[in-house]
Amino acid sequence: MKKILNILYFLVGLSLLVFLSLNSHKNRGSILCKGLQINVDTKGGLYFVNSGMVQDLVLEIQDSIVGKPFEDINIYLLEDFVNEHPNIEKAELYLALSGSLCVDVTQHKPIARVFEQNQSYYLDAQINAIPLSDSYTVRVLPVYWSESTERRRNILKSILSFLDEDVFLKAQITALEFDDNDEVFMYPRVGDHKIILGKAQNIKEKFEKLKVFYRHGLEKVGWDRYSIINLKFKNQVVCTKK
């Protein structure tokens, strides 16, 4: 008998919760929208997108927001449209009981800028292209190649991953260049020399060789002694004097 009563109490409680949820949803749908509340995450000093731009996107797809009941606003359609902006990584739209249509925006974070023949664009951590902005420029690692290929993007992703994990090298390497054979050249912040990384094999070992050479070689003979530091060869660093 006690077990049956517990089941009945559970069913009554569940029914009550469903009723309250449906009633709340129904009442929420009749709330009139009082305006947009836009929050753009500018963490890291990113200003590709501002609240005015997001508002224009929302009003482009639905020209009248204020005064409309929530049930007449298709937030899923609006969210998909805002997410199509190339500088927006993620946009979340939701309706607040206060009467606001809230829009939270996270921007794509560039980690490199590519110079490719007569065009230029940014890349994010997944090596996805991000267009330049007419109103904002971010200082990131320049990358030079004649064209974007899957192989070059994969090589670049590996190199940037290693650089990101090493504070010294991340500060020291100021530009990367790919030749037609997909060999990589690096240009340092300190020292008037070019670094030949070569092919993409054994990248970690090559970076370790470079750090050892900087620490035990250039610090003794001077940072401007050589014009080229070649890391292509196994277990050695080959240098060309000026």
Evaluate whether residue 10 is within a structural domain. Answer: no
Of 232, 231, 224, 209, the residue nearest 241 (C-alpha): 224
Euclidean distance between CA atoms 117 and 136, whole angstroms: 22
> What is each CA distance from 6 to 3, 16, 37, 168, in whole angstroms?
5, 15, 45, 66
State the pLDDT at residue 180: 94
Evaluate whether residue 121 is within a structural domain. Answer: yes
Residues 46 and 161 in one domain: no
- Residue at 241: amino acid letter: K
Q: Which of these three, 107, 138, 164, is where a domain ends?
A: 107
Evaluate whether residue 22 is within a structural domain. Answer: no
How many domains is the chain built from?
2
Strands 141-144 and 129-130: unpaired
State phi, psi for 147 to the nearest 5 degrees. Answer: -160, 155
Q: Which of these three, 107, 134, 164, is where a domain ends?
A: 107
Q: What is the CATH number for 48?
A: 3.10.20.310
State the pLDDT at residue 158: 94
Cβ-contact 73, 8 below 8 angstroms: no
Q: Which residues form the domain of 47? A: 35-107
Kind and range of the H or E element at 40?
strand 35-41
Euclidean distance between CA atoms 75 and 127, whole angstroms: 30
Residues 50 and 154 in one domain: no
Evaluate whether residue 4 is within a structural domain. Answer: no
Residues 51 and 170 in one domain: no
Residues 53 and 82 in one domain: yes
Evaluate whether residue 234 is within a structural domain. Answer: yes
Residues 158 and 44 in one domain: no
Residues 136 and 178 in one domain: yes
State the pLDDT at residue 61: 82
Evaluate whether residue 211 is within a structural domain. Answer: yes
State the pLDDT at residue 22: 40
Evaluate whether residue 79 is within a structural domain. Answer: yes
State the pLDDT at residue 5: 46
Euclidean distance between CA atoms 81 and 133, whole angstroms: 19
Cβ-contact 37, 100 below 8 angstroms: yes
Residues 126 and 230 in one domain: yes
Residues 236 and 116 in one domain: yes
Residues in the chain: 242
Cβ-contact 196, 239 below 8 angstroms: no
Strands 129-130 and 119-123: antiparallel
State the pLDDT at residue 28: 54
State the pLDDT at residue 148: 95
Q: Which of these three, 84, 107, 130, is where a domain ends?
A: 107
Q: What is the CATH number for 234?
A: 3.40.50.11690
Residues 150 and 92 in one domain: no
Residues 195 and 82 in one domain: no
Cβ-contact 42, 109 below 8 angstroms: no
- Complete DSSP assignment for 145-183: -SS--HHHHHHHHHHHHHHHT-HHHHHHEEEEEE-TT--
State the pLDDT at residue 1: 54
Evaluate whether residue 8 is within a structural domain. Answer: no
Residues 99 and 86 in one domain: yes
| Residues with pLDDT less than 50, the chain | 5-6, 8-10, 12-26
For residue 105, how far is the Cα from the chain centroid?
Answer: 13
State the pLDDT at residue 50: 94
Residues 67 and 122 in one domain: no
